[in-house]
Structure formats: structure tokens, C-alpha cells
């Protein structure tokens, strides 16, 4: 993957992960809320059915109360009570039933085939002994019991809620029940609604994720294009600066060759030609003329050495950075007439080639700037080692300058910007401060290893 693709991927993947986590949390909370809603619906319907069943049972008891309160326990009275309860219907599936204390059915309006049968041990498909559970509930005083029973209107086993009470004197259990298929229907509808809401929420999150991914991709593409253009412009500027630096350096060398060595060599040529004429004419001053020509030839040789030294000092390769900077300081003092103080305290005489060349060029450019612009009288150069870093400090007592204006503009030679770039390329720190009477340049470079 290219760098821009990695950047876009690093932006999209956390976004998709965040949306996935949010989706999972929303799904979990929605399911939990759905379960709570189902429980609330079921609890509410069951509570209303319990109240309704109590009312039905109280109505049935009030209907048979005169006969039961009469104190008669004969079969005729009991049969009259059963007849009254048999006629108390409410809807196609609402009826009363009566069992004795041993679980024998005494009256059942919808299933007459059960009358007289002992059903205490009868079980439904879930192995629940419904009649026995009803008797226990009636005797405990709670009266409510859930079980499965055949629904008359459909003939199917259906969840049912019953309420039963005991007629203690006769040891009868009287009760009625309501089927709970409407509760299941209501909870199914609530469950379906929750599922629909979850589905719509997931689709909405998917849409948001798609839009977010498209926006991030578009923003990343735009940023990549913008950064690519900016990088191209920077590369063009860098290429222009490199070409300009090369041309400026060539111009400087050409100028020094033309104005220095060329003039000296022309002067030597004239001296030699003059000596030849003097020898031909037998003049005695020919030897003196030759000596003057040799002296000027020596000056030309010294100029060639100076230019060569500026391009690449031999001392830097032979004796290391401290000696090369020391020689540079001596030559600058002789050439400029400024007082130069140089001190160094390196533990290692030789630094790696990259660090040595960078520090030497920085000192060289700093001294050239001081000679051209500072109008200083004293220059201080310090080369020190502190732990695993080497520090270079160049200070002068000149008039100072505006650092921001100089760094924003274009300067000749290497320039302050190139100094800074040299140091940053090696992972070091470059600082520059300037006030009238004090300008200080400080470089700190880490030593490899």
C-alpha cells in the first residue's frame, strides 16, 4: 500500500470499528428494551386478567351464596349450586368448573366427558399436573395458577390463567380461567416491532457508515492531492535552490579564479616577458624582475590553495574537525583583521564525516556573514562535547540583524535556511539569537552510537 492509502485506511478503519461498536451497543440495548417491553406488556395484561378473574369468581360465589349459606349439605342443594355455576358463561371460552378436594371433576360446561373422572394425576404435554396445582393454589389462599388446557373454540392446548377458591364445608374447588393466547399475540407484536426498529436502526447506521466512509475517502483524496501538489512545489523550490546554490558557488569560484588567480598569472606572465626583454638587452635588473615574478607565482599558488581549502579543507580529512576549524579561525583572523577566540573540548578528535562537514560549513558560512554584515570587532567560536552531543557556538559583538526578515527572504551562499536544514537533517537543534552588540548561533548535534 502507498502512504496515502495507508493514511486513508487508518482514518476509515477506526471509523468503521467505532460504528460497529455503536451498532452492537444499540442492538444490545434495543433487545434489552424489547425484552423489558414484552415483560411490561405481559405483566400488565396478566394483572388485568387477574382482576377480571377475581370479579368473575366473586360473581359466581355471590350467585351460589344463598344456597351455600343456608347450611344444607344435601345432594339436592349441591346439585342446584352446580346448575347455577353451569349457566354462568361469559363468551365462548369463559366458564366455571368445579372439582372436589380429591381432584374429581364435578362440573365442566365445555367438556362433559370429564365429569366424574379423577383428574388429580392428569398431566399436560409439559408434565404439569394441572388439577393438583390448582388444588394447592386454592388451599394456599393465592388462588392463581398458570397451566395449559384445551381451548374450546380452537381445540388446541393453550396457556391459561385460572383463579380458584375452596368451599371448605363441602371440600369443593370452584374456579374459572382466561386463556392467554392474546398475551402471546401482544408480546409477539411487540417483539416484531422491536425487531423492525432494530433493523431500521441498523440500516440507518449502515447508511451513516457509508456516508462517513465516502466523506473520509473524499477528504483523504482531496488532502492527498493537495499534499501532493504542495510536495511537488516544495521539490521544485528545492531543485531551484540546489541549482541556484550550484550556480552561485560556480560564480564565486569563477569570480575568484578570474579576479584572483587569473590576474596574478597575467602579472606573472608580464613579469616573465619583461625579464626576457631585459635579458636580451643585457640589463642587470632582469634577475630582480624574475624574482618579482616568482613571488607573484607563489601568491597565485597560495590563492589556489585557499580556494581548494574553501571547497574541501584537507585538514578536515587529515586531522579532523577541531584542527580544521582552528585553521579556518586563524585564516579568517588574518584576512579580516578581527580578533577571533577559538576553544574546543571534544573528547574525540574525529567526528563522523556528515557531522564534521556540516559543522565546518556552518562555521565557514557564519564567519563569511560576520565579515560581510556584522561590523564586529571580536568573534568567539566554541566547539564542545556534552555527553552524547556535540555543540557549536559562534558569537560576535556586531550590530545584529532581524532574524525573521532574513530567514523569510533569500540570502546568498548557503544561508541561514540551509544551515538549519543541514542541522535538522542530522537530527540536531539549530538556534539563532541576535540583538545589537551580540549575535549568537548555536548548533547541537547528536553523536552516532
The last residue of one of the domains, among 152, 185, 218, is 185
This prediction has a pTM of 0.46
Domain range for 48 is 3-185
Residue 334 within a domain: yes
What per-residue confidence (pLDDT) applies to 1?
58
Residue 34 within a domain: yes
All cell numbers assigned to 427: 537530527
Q: Point out which residues pair with 172 in neighbouring strands.
A: 100, 167
What per-residue confidence (pLDDT) applies to 3?
63
Q: Percent of the chain, pLDDT > 90?
A: 25
Q: How sure is the predictor about 212, in pLDDT bands with cuts at 50, 70 and 90? A: confident
Q: Are 313 and 330 in contact (CB under 8 A)?
A: no
Neighbour count for residue 96 (Cβ, 10 Å): 25
Q: How sure is the predictor about 172, in pLDDT bands with cuts at 50, 70 and 90? A: very high
Residue 312 within a domain: no
What per-residue confidence (pLDDT) applies to 449?
64
Residue 28 within a domain: yes
Judged by phi (left if over 0) then psi (alpha if -120 to 50, else beta), residue 396 lies in beta
Q: How sure is the predictor about 96, in pLDDT bands with cuts at 50, 70 and 90? A: very high
Range among 17-21, 96-100, 239-243 with highest mean pLDDT value = 96-100
Residue 97 within a domain: yes
How far apart are alpha carbons 253 and 49 in whole angstroms?
109
Q: What are the backbone dihedrals phi and psi of residue 64, each rounded to the nearest 5 degrees, phi first?
A: -100, 0
Shared-domain flag, residues 179 and 323: no
The last residue of one of the domains, among 185, 218, 248, is 185
How far apart are alpha carbons 393 and 387 in whole angstroms?
16
Shared-domain flag, residues 328 and 179: no
What per-residue confidence (pLDDT) applies to 412?
44
Residue 94 within a domain: yes
CA pseudo-torsion sign 397, 401, 402, 407: negative
Give the CATH number, domain containing residue 114. 3.30.450.20
All cell numbers assigned to 284: 642587470
How far apart are alpha carbons 120 and 364 in whole angstroms?
114
Neighbour count for residue 132 (Cβ, 10 Å): 15
What per-residue confidence (pLDDT) applies to 313?
67
The DSSP secondary structure of 388-412, one letter per residue, reads TEEEEEEEE-S----HHHHHHS--S
Distance of CA 418 to the CA centre of its chain: 35
Better pLDDT: 183 or 438: 438
Q: Are 134 and 163 in contact (CB under 8 A)?
A: no
Give the mean pLDDT of the chain. Answer: 84
Better pLDDT: 66 or 317: 66
9 Cβ contact list (under 8 Å, min separation 6): 1
The last residue of one of the domains, among 133, 164, 185, is 185
Residue 114 within a domain: yes
For the chain, how big is the Rg over CA atoms in Å? 55
Segment 325-340, tens digit of pLDDT: 898 899 889 988 999 9
Give the CATH number, domain containing residue 381. 3.30.565.10
Residue 350 within a domain: yes
DSSP state of 427: T
Segment 114-166, tens digit of pLDDT: 899 998 888 766 556 888 889 999 998 889 998 888 888 878 888 899 999 99
Domain count, the chain: 2
Q: Are 108 and 115 in contact (CB under 8 A)?
A: yes
What per-residue confidence (pLDDT) applies to 411?
47
Segment 225-272, tens digit of pLDDT: 787 788 788 888 777 777 776 777 777 777 777 677 778 788 878 878
Better pLDDT: 216 or 66: 66
Task: Indicate if the pLDDT at residue 208 is higher than 80.
Answer: yes
Of 314-323, 389-398, 409-418, the one with minimum mean pLDDT is 409-418
Task: Indicate if the pLDDT at residue 55 is higher than 90.
Answer: yes
Amino acid at each position: 500500500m502507498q502512504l496515502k492509502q495507508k493514511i486513508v485506511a487508518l482514518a476509515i478503519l477506526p471509523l468503521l470499528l467505532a460504528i460497529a461498536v455503536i451498532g452492537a451497543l444499540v442492538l444490545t440495548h434495543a433487545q434489552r428494551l424489547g425484552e423489558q417491553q414484552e415483560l411490561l406488556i405481559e405483566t400488565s395484561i396478566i394483572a388485568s386478567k387477574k382482576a377480571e378473574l377475581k370479579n368473575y369468581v366473586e360473581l359466581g360465589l355471590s350467585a351460589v351464596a344463598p344456597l351455600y349459606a343456608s347450611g344444607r349439605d344435601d345432594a339436592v342443594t349441591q346439585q342446584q349450586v352446580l346448575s347455577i355455576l353451569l349457566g354462568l358463561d361469559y363468551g365462548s371460552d369463559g366458564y366455571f368448573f368445579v372439582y372436589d378436594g380429591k381432584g374429581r371433576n364435578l362440573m365442566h360446561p365445555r367438556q362433559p366427558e370429564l365429569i366424574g373422572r379423577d383428574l388429580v394425576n392428569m398431566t399436560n404435554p409439559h408434565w404439569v399436573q394441572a388439577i393438583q396445582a390448582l388444588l394447592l393454589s386454592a388451599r394456599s389462599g393465592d388462588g392463581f395458577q398458570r397451566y395449559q388446557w384445551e381451548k374450546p373454540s380452537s381445540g388446541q392446548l393453550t396457556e391459561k390463567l385460572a383463579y380458584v377458591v375452596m368451599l371448605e364445608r363441602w371440600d369443593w374447588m370452584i374456579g374459572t380461567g382466561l386463556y392467554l393466547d392474546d398475551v402471546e399475540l401482544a408480546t409477539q407484536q411487540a417483539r416484531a416491532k422491536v425487531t423492525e426498529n432494530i433493523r431500521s436502526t441498523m440500516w440507518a447506521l449502515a447508511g451513516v457508515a457509508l456516508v462517513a466512509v465516502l466523506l473520509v475517502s473524499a477528504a483523504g483524496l482531496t488532502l492527498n492531492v493537495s499534499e501532493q501538489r504542495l510536495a511537488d512545489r516544495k521539490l521544485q523550490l528545492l531543485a531551484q535552490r540546489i541549482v541556484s546554490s550550484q550556480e552561485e558557488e560556480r560564480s564565486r569560484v569563477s569570480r575568484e579564479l578570474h579576479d584572483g588567480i587569473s590576474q596574478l598569472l597575467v602579472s606573472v606572465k608580464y613579469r616573465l616577458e619583461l625579464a626576457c626583454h631585459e635579458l636580451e638587452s643585457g640589463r642587470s635588473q632582469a634577475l630582480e624582475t624574475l624574482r618579482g615574478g616568482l613571488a607573484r607565482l607563489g601568491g597565485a599558488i597560495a590563492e589556489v590553495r585557499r580556494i581548494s581549502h574553501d571547497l574541501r579543507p584537507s585538514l578536515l580529512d587529515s586531522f579532523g574537525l577541531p584542527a580544521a576549524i582552528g585553521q579556518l579561525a586563524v585564516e579568517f583572523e588574518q584576512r579580516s583583521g578581527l580578533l577571533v577566540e577559538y576553544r574546543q573540548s571534544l573528547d574525540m578528535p574525529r567526528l563522523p564525516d556528515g557531522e564534521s562537514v556540516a559543522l565546518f560549513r556552518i562555521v565557514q558560512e557564519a564567519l563569511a556573514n560576520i565579515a560581510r554584515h556584522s561590523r564586529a570587532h571580536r568573534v568567539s567560536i566554541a566547539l564542545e562535547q556534552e555527553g552524547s552531543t556535540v555543540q557549536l557556538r559562534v558569537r560576535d559583538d556586531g550590530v545584529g540583524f532581524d532574524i525573521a526578515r532574513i530567514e523569510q527572504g533569500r540570502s546568498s551562499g548557503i544561508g541561514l535556511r540551509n544551515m538549519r536544514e543541514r542541522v535538522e537533517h542530522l537530527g540536531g537543534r539549530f538556534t539563532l539569537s541576535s540583538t545589537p552588540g551580540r549575535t549568537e548561533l548555536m548548533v547541537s548535534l547528536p553523536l552516532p552510537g
